[in-house]
Each structure stands twice: as C-alpha cells, then as structure tokens.
C-alpha cells in the first residue's frame, strides 16, 4: 500500500523540506511550475511573427527544466541562432548548462547535426554552435520555421 504524505500551506507556507539528511545539500527549498515566452533572435532579423511561442518550465531546487516549441516567420536574418527568454538567469558558476534539440527546421544542422546549445554563466539565452565552435546561423528567411527542444540548467 502506498503511503502519501501531503504537505500543504494550511499552517503557513512550507519554506524548505529536508530529505535524507539535515544539511543544506538535503534541502528542497523551491518548487515552481509555469510558463515563459521564448523568442528567436538573430542579427538583422526583421518582421518576425510567431505562429507558436510556447515555453513551460519546472524548477526544483536550483535545477530548471524548460520545454520549448516555436514556429515563426521572418526575413533578413544574418546571425547566430539565439534563443532568448528563459525564465531564470543561469548560475554564475562554471557548470554544464545547455539544451538538446528534438526537432528544428531553423537550420539543417540544428535538425540533422549535433549542435552545441550553450548557455553561458548568468544568462537567460542559448546560442547554437557547430562542433568546431563556430556559430550556427538561422535560415536567412524563415517561413514557418519550427524549433522544439528541452533546456536544463541550474540557478
């Protein structure tokens, strides 16, 4: 028989929960689900319009997981694929923070290659790179281009 412990706010907000120990590393001090509005940015992009612009996040402790779907039309892009609007700034500490792309028509490499989707320290956007470190540009003129992916980083 499953045992379920319900913690509610009936006696005031629970500020943290200790799991498996009493130290700070055992403390769950934050949980939140919500939405955000992701955007595509690239140098020169004009007249961009979105048919889909969905961002959902779950934050557990200092870990953020985001689910992104974008569909857009725009012209005259000349720069690196840059995904903006993440719901939290990343931690200012060297650590792996990034994304995997599940589907994209924003550039051939984003869909068929192994792009490096990089989030720098203290940032709330993602930049795309080839494996050699050079920038992945978006299609210059997008017509209902599509992008889906999952982002994981810490705060």
Partner 1 sequence: MALTKATKEDKIEVAGAYKAIQIRTVTVISEDDTEISRTFHRRVINPCVKSGDNWSDYDTSSESAEVRGIASAVWTDDIKTAYKNMIDEQEH
Residues at the interface with partner 1 (CB under 8 A):
32-37, 43-44, 57, 79, 85-89, 91-92, 120-124, 127, 133, 155
Closest CA to 66 of 154, 148, 150: 150
Q: Retrieve residue 66's tokens.
A: 């985001």
- Quote the least distance from Cβ 110 to partner 1, whole Å: 19
> Whole-angstrom Cα distance, residue 49 to residue 55?
16
- Quote the least distance from Cβ 26 to partner 1, whole Å: 23
- Quote the least distance from Cβ 32 to partner 1, whole Å: 6
**Between 45 and 72, CB nearer to partner 1:** 45
How many of the other CB atoms lie within 10 Å of CB of 148? 15
**Between 16 and 121, CB nearer to partner 1:** 121
**Between 76 and 111, CB nearer to partner 1:** 76
DSSP 93: S
- Quote the least distance from Cβ 21 to partner 1, whole Å: 27
> Whole-angstrom Cα distance, residue 129 to residue 55?
22
**Between 27 and 123, CB nearer to partner 1:** 123
- Quick check: 78 and 42 in contact, CB under 8 A? yes
DSSP 137: B
């Amino acid at each position: 028989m499953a045992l379920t412990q319900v913690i509610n706010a009936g006696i005031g907000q629970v500020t943290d929960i200790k799991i498996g120990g009493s130290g700070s590393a055992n403390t769950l001090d934050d949980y939140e689900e919500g939405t955000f509005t992701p955007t595509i940015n690239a140098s020169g992009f004009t007249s961009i319009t979105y048919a889909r612009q969905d961002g959902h996040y779950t934050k557990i402790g200092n870990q953020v997981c985001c689910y992104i779907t974008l569909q857009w039309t725009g012209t005259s892009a000349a720069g690196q694929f840059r995904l903006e609007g993440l719901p939290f700034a990343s931690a200012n500490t060297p650590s792996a923070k990034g994304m995997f792309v599940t589907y994209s028509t924003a550039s051939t490499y984003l869909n068929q290659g192994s792009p490096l989707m990089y989030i720098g320290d203290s940032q709330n956007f993602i930049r795309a790179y080839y494996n050699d470190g050079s920038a992945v540009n978006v299609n210059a003129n997008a017509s209902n281009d599509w992008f889906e992916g999952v982002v994981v980083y810490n705060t």
